[in-house]
Amino acid sequence: MKTIHVVCKREKKDALEIAGEILRRFGDRSNIVIEEEAAAQMRYGTTFEMEHVGEGADLIVVLGGDGTLLSVSRHGKGSEVPIIGVNLGSLGFLTETSTEEFATTLEKVLNGDFSISKRIMLDVRVNREGDRIFDITILNDAVITKDALARIIDIETYVNEEYLTTYKADGLIVSTPTGATGYSMAAGGPLIYPSLTNLIVTPICPHTLTNRPIILPESVVIRAVLKSRDEKVILTLDGQVGFPLEYADEVTVKKSSHVVHLVKSSSRGYFEILRTKLKWGER
């Protein structure tokens, strides 16, 4: 591992301290490059812009929570550089490595002793009157939701151009297995083992209670058409990027060709993470 990119959660003191520890422990073995905003706070001269994360790197170290890792996955799509997520947040489904074990894990990775969990991404596009006006590649989910004061919205939904239904609901979620533990789960969606490649469609508070979440194969193209007028509706991507929708806008979602490579925790498996984070078995 010749070059390591380090991304810190902004204004997170713990992240800067760990970045400094990485420099002290591993700086003589690898070229450590730190994202520019964190590097400025550390007064460190070897930097990169977030838009170029992963370019020329052999490893990316993310110091923060799942939100920081989601941002890295979007900016670094296509690089397929292994990512270690060190959890400085609360849940940490994606940032599996604890602060206590990060140094040991990084040592193993530098020695080539690690395994990868490959996670699919989604390509999301918005068409308006036949023109593409927005597109993005994401790791977790695409969510169509109404404004807090809006009424139930109508979302006409197709799978491979076959009509599925018109959801009358507060919104609609299209999720990857990685995103299954996020908004989709909160809306009643299923958990799916993260290395699978299915897509999940989950309505949010549907007016028709028989509208249930559905798991679809990786080959499908999902098209959701907004059929409500005079309502404030927004498309939210990974919970971080927003795009306002208008009547008759079409949101198309499909499996991307890009894949995120996450370094697995050496001490904990997926089911242990579920038990710990979701407090399964506790009373």
Q: In what order do the strands lie in the sheet with 233-237?
A: 214-216, 199-204, 171-175, 141-146, 233-237, 241-245
Q: Is 12:20 a contact under the CB 8 Å cutoff?
A: no
Cα torsion angle, 27, 33, 35, 40, sign: positive
Cα separation values, 34 from 54, 151, 276, Å? 11, 46, 31
Cα torsion angle, 31, 36, 42, 44, sign: positive
Is 66 catalytic? The answer is: yes
Distance between CA atoms of residues 62 and 54, nearest Å = 11
Neighbours of 243 (CB within 10 A): 17
Q: Is 109:59 a contact under the CB 8 Å cutoff?
A: yes
DSSP secondary structure letter of residue 100? T
Q: Is 102:117 a contact under the CB 8 Å cutoff?
A: no
Distance between CA atoms of residues 89 and 100, nearest Å = 14
- Helix, coil or strand: residue 3: strand
User: CB-based contacts of 13: which residues, under 8 Å, 6+ apart?
Assistant: none
Write the Ramachandran bin of 195: left for phi over 0, alpha for psi from -120 to 50, otherwise beta.
Answer: alpha
Which one of the listed residues 14, 66, 135, 154 is annotated catalytic? 66
Residues annotated as catalytic (active site), given as ranges? 66
